[in-house]
Amino acid sequence: MTPDVEVAALLKQELARQETVLSMIPSENAPSLAVLEAVGSVAGNKYAEGYPGKRYYEGNAVVDKIELLAINRAKQLFNAEHVNVQAYSGSPANQAVFLAFLKPGDTFMGLDLACGGHLTHGSPVNFSGRIYKPVSYGLDKETELLDMNAVREIALREKPKLIISGLTAYPRTINFKEFQKIAEEVGAIHLADVSHIAGLIAGESHPSPFPYTDLVMMTTHKTLRGPRGALLLCKEKYAKELDKAVFPGLQGGPHENNIAGIAVALYEALQPTFKEYSLQIVKNASVLAKELMNKGFKLVTNGTDNHLILMDLRQQGISLGKQAAFALNEAGICCNMNSVPYDPALPYKPSGLRFGTPILTTRGMKEQEMKLVAGWITEVLQNMDNSGTKLRIAKEVKELCLRFPLYPELKQ
């Protein structure tokens, strides 16, 4: 068969792009070649509807072992009673929780999107906000921090059946124990959506939701540094309902090649070096935050405890996030525009920028490199219309990136 040179060329271009820019979108990471090889393996050839030992097709003896390996490694890593590894990604995994434990129209609580929540935490354009009744909690307007007393007051008033703790753009740690206490007080189930911070939890750089939380959902491709996918972890008493919601409730055959990749990523996360990596992510984000604040930028909550930074550009002007993200991209710094708490601007033209340190840390960059990056970000944002400045910085960024190859094995 004639090889597909077009796709091959495009993939080569994408690798070259990733190798020569600073990828700072917090939800992105670069899994190992071993993970990529597993995802591209023959495990993807096999249909395996059902669960290990109870399939609806024959020939699953080997993929049963792969799936059980992933399950057992996740249990060990996160000290979980029950694990489902079949959800295709984070949003379907959250949808499975809703299907298992709520009925259409039921009330639930989640963090407001503009304050750092996710679409599946109650956005009116998402299934969660269209099929169910969302009640949002936000951040304190002065401190921009979660106010657990306010969360409790809302829960006592609204009596939700589900409370979601979790983040996509909240740069501080989450008190899962307090969320669980509130949930139990009002008779709700507590879902911790730790998609962004799963790798930090695995590396003990962020407090764990276990053993408190009823249900935990995590994507596997962010700080956990695996393939695109999701894990659902829960107390044993919720296992049957959760598994039935995933299959047959929402899905047919699981993607066993992805599950193989997840198993490899979990193996890597169980190694002692992963703790060092997780801690370095947080160190890098902390240094980057301090440097940016020293240069006069306003950061939401005035810093970070995790892998991400949310910059508030309203001092420079409303709705600058999109323009700023474009300018930084031209300079080889890839971040994303983002709403900030109580942002008066529209979501597609928000007033903030979101930066993360996972890929930079994967590449081996440390505190000194973060100081360089902070300087480049500052220069670009102060000279957004200066093509010469952006071209010069793009060249300097490329030189730094070549010192820290994304996949050094490919350079050998």
CA distances (Å), origin 253, targets 213, 273, 275: 28, 34, 34
Detail the DSSP E strand segments found in 73-123: 82-84, 107-111
What is the rounded average pLDDT of the residues 197-219?
A: 97
CA angle 80, 85, 90 (to 5 degrees): 100
- Say what the pLDDT of residue 17 is: 97
Catalytic residues: 47, 49, 193, 219, 222, 228
- What is the band of 1 on the pLDDT scale with cuts at 50, 70, 90? confident
- What is the band of 411 on the pLDDT scale with cuts at 50, 70, 90? confident
Q: 303-349 pLDDT, tens per residue? A: 999 999 999 999 988 889 999 999 999 999 999 999 999 999 888 89
- Say what the pLDDT of residue 19 is: 97
Does position 48 have pLDDT exceeding 90, yes or no?
yes
SS3 250: helix
Q: Is residue 353 packed enough to be buried (19+ CB in 10 Å), middle (13-18) or exposed (0-12)?
A: buried
Predicted TM-score (pTM) above 0.75: yes
Q: 148-157 pLDDT, tens per residue? A: 999 999 999 9
In this predicted model, which residue has the larger pLDDT, 411 or 210? 210
3-state secondary structure 178-224: HHHHHHHHHCCEEEEECCCCHHHHHCCCCCCCCCCCCEEEEECCCCC
- Say what the pLDDT of residue 340 is: 95
CA angle 277, 281, 287 (to 5 degrees): 135
The overall average pLDDT reported for the chain is: 97
Closest to 176 measured CA to CA, from 286, 78, 103:
78
Question: DSSP label at 301?
Answer: G
Residue 386 has phi, psi (to 5 degrees) of: -95, 100
Residue with tokens 């890929």: 359
Residue 228 CB neighbour total at 10 angstroms: 17
Does position 410 have pLDDT exceeding 90, yes or no?
no
Q: 253-310 pLDDT, tens per residue? A: 999 999 999 999 999 999 999 999 999 999 999 999 999 999 999 999 999 999 999 9
What is the rounded average pLDDT of the residues 50-72?
A: 97
Q: 373-409 pLDDT, tens per residue? A: 999 999 999 999 999 999 999 999 999 999 999 999 8
SS3 65: helix
Residue 325 has phi, psi (to 5 degrees) of: -65, -40
Does position 57 have pLDDT exceeding 90, yes or no?
yes
- What is the band of 246 on the pLDDT scale with cuts at 50, 70, 90? very high
- Taking the alpha carbons of 8, 10, 13, 14 in that order, is the dihedral positive or negative? negative
Question: DSSP label at 139?
Answer: B
| Cβ atoms 49, 55 nearer than 8 A | yes
- Say what the pLDDT of residue 412 is: 62
Q: In the numeric block, which tokens belong to residue 153?
A: 């007051």
Query: CA 308: distance to chain centroid?
Result: 10
SS3 content of the chain, % helix, strand, coil (to 5): 50, 15, 35
Delineate the domains of the chain, giving CATH numbers in brackets: 34-269 (3.40.640.10), 272-404 (3.90.1150.10)
Percent of the chain at pLDDT > 90 equals: 96
- Say what the pLDDT of residue 347 is: 85
Q: Taking the chain, what is the end-to-end CA distance rounded to the nearest angstrom?
A: 29
Non-local (6+) Cβ contacts of 213 within 8 A are: 165, 176, 179, 180, 190, 191, 192
Residue with tokens 């474009």: 326
